[in-house]
Amino acid sequence: MAVLSILTYPDPRLHTVAKPVQAVDARIRGLIADMLETMYDANGIGLAATQVDVHERLVVIDVSEERNEPLVLINPEIVWASEEKQVGDEGCLSVPGIYDGVERSRSIKVRALDGEGQAREISAEGILAVCIQHEMDHLMGKVFVEYLSPLKRNRIKTKMLKARRDPERV
């Protein structure tokens, strides 16, 4: 297992649309292990393969208090989303230190393969529903700041570029 480098906004690779995983094999299982280690190391609750510059439809999540209930979603697709929405503050490992309100469906149903390649359907609400929607956006090449106003997005972009140039001053 290894801690992978996480791309930071506004890296253009974050806008790459992920391709479906063709087979759940040793390579994918190794990537899952590395992504989980990376997510836990960064103190995150979700990580999409796109964020580690692997453009395949793979997401790892763990919203448990003890950080011991990893959820793996391979080729996920939302098959149902509630019309009822909620706005909550979101953050992102690719946009460190930035949090802002994003509107998401309150509950969803998602179909995906697990880490063993078994098909499953998951009903989610609350933080898990938000996290799944957030990570699935990454697979479509979308970062949460794109839900914000152009003004906020440009301020965040400027701050992130400044931090990349001079990490001591931010």
Instruction: Indicate the pairing of strand 85-92 with strand 58-61.
Output: unpaired
Beta carbons within 8 Å of 33's beta carbon, 6+ residues apart: 1
What separation in angstroms does the CA of 58 have from each of 63, 80, 86, 117, 132?
A: 17, 19, 25, 12, 11
* Annotated binding-site residue? 92: yes
* Annotated binding-site residue? 55: no
* Annotated binding-site residue? 15: no
Considering the candidates 66, 135, 146, 168, report the single residue annotated as catalytic.
135
Q: Do 148 and 100 meet the contact criterion of CB atoms below 8 Å apart?
A: yes
What separation in angstroms does the CA of 84 have from each of 50, 77, 80, 88?
A: 28, 19, 12, 13
Q: Do 61 and 13 meet the contact criterion of CB atoms below 8 Å apart?
A: no
- Residue 84 among the catalytic residues: no
DSSP state string for 84-136: -EEEEEEEETTEEEEEEEEEEESEEEEEEE-TTS-EEEEEEEHHHHHHHHHHH
Which residues are catalytically annotated? 135
Binding region: 92, 134, 138
Binding region for Fe cation: 92, 134, 138
